[in-house]
């Protein structure tokens, strides 16, 4: 059934200025089951706020959100979240980090260990089960985070700029890995990113948010065959043309947000 967002609104009070901020207003979006959708837009436009609301980490001021027909009112096991900062438990091994959600669900030890091992293998970390986060590179830590989210078998995977903190080559490798994992798992994915190139590479559709208050300005369909790899797409004229069109849309949105000398997209 996918994701339905209807007339979503988020208003909060800025703790520094005590001013009321309308972060999101009149946001409508429908995402199909098993679809990979990226959200791009100017910095500070409300992308992460939107993701946190879908995760149940922030309350909406108005409007409704549904995941597979169930209204989002709090965090739930049907939604997995992968953050930019890895968010691993430093005192747990890679295997124990992946097992954590399964342990909370009271999955028996042998079964959860088998599930965790399978997902670590899926993300290319077979042999690293007993390593602690401090012994892993940033890219490897993010793979553990992805495996942990997938192990709980959420119907919706929410990813908040998960590859922003790694180097360019590692980022490309992780992007290719994610497309492979997505094709195997076929979960619904909402992916927040500042990189239009990343969004086009990964997605079935790319949503462009307006400046604050955020709403869907434009939605672009990505008509590229899968599986995808950087070696084949970097010279693909359609890929590069679509990337340029979406980037232009984001830049135009940024320009439109400058009202009375104040950039509405900046916090």
Structural domains of the chain in order of their starting residue, each with its CATH number = 1-74+206-267 (3.40.50)
> Chunked in runs of 10, what are the mean pLDDT values of the chain (267 residues)?
95 88 95 97 91 95 96 94 89 96 93 96 95 95 94 95 91 94 94 97 97 93 95 94 96 73 49
Q: What is the mean pLDDT of the chain?
A: 92
Q: What integer pLDDT is reported at residue 212 of this predicted model?
A: 87
Give the whole-angstrom CA distance, residue 172 versus residue 178: 10
Strands 20-31, 188-192: pairing is unpaired
Q: What integer pLDDT is reported at residue 262 of this predicted model?
A: 53
Give the whole-angstrom CA distance, residue 186 versus residue 182: 5
Q: What integer pLDDT is reported at residue 178 of this predicted model?
A: 95
Q: What integer pLDDT is reported at residue 261 of this predicted model?
A: 46
Please classify residue 261 by burial: count the beta carbons closer than 10 Å to its beta carbon, then call 0-12 exposed, 13-18 middle and 19+ buried: exposed
Q: Looking at the DSSP assignment, which residues form a beta bridge with residue 262?
A: 259
User: Nearest-CA neighbor of 43 among 244, 251, 261, 199?
Assistant: 251
Q: What integer pLDDT is reported at residue 85 of this predicted model?
A: 84
CB 157 within 8 A of CB 80: yes
Q: Is 13 helix (H, G, I), strand (E, B) or coil?
A: strand
Q: What integer pLDDT is reported at residue 267 of this predicted model?
A: 38
Phi and psi at residue 37, in whole multiples of 5°? -125, 130
**In whole angstroms, how far apart are CA 230 and each of 63, 175, 238?**
39, 9, 14
Q: Looking at the DSSP assignment, which residues form a beta bridge with residue 38?
A: 191, 206
């Amino acid at each position: 059934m996918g994701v339905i967002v209807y007339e979503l609104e988020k208003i909060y009070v800025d703790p520094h200025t005590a001013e009321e901020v309308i972060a999101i207003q009149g946001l409508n979006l429908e995402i199909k089951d098993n679809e990979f959708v990226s959200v791009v837009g100017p910095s500070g436009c409300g992308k992460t706020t939107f993701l946190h609301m879908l995760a149940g980490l922030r309350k909406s001021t108005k409007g409704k959100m549904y995941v597979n027909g169930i209204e989002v009112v709090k965090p739930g096991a049907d939604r997995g979240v992968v953050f930019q900062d890895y968010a691993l438990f430093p005192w747990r091994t890679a295997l124990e980090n992946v097992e954590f959600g399964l342990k909370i669900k009271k999955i028996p030890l042998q079964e959860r260990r088998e599930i965790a091992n399978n997902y670590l293998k899926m993300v290319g970390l077979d042999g690293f089960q007993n390593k602690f986060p401090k012994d892993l590179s940033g890219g490897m830590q993010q793979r553990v985070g992805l495996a942990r989210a997938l192990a709980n078998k959420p119907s919706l995977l929410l990813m908040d700029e998960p590859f922003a903190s790694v180097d360019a080559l590692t980022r490309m490798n992780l992007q290719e890995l994610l497309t492979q994992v997505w094709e195997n798992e076929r979960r619904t994915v909402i992916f927040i990113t500042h990189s239009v190139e990343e969004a086009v590479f990964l997605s079935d559709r790319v949503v462009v948010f307006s400046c604050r208050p955020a709403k869907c300005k434009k939605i672009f369909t990505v008509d590229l065959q899968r599986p995808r790899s950087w070696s084949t797409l970097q010279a693909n004229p359609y890929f590069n043309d679509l990337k340029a069109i979406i980037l232009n849309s984001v830049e135009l949105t940024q320009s439109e947000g400058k009202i009375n000398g104040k950039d509405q997209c900046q916090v």
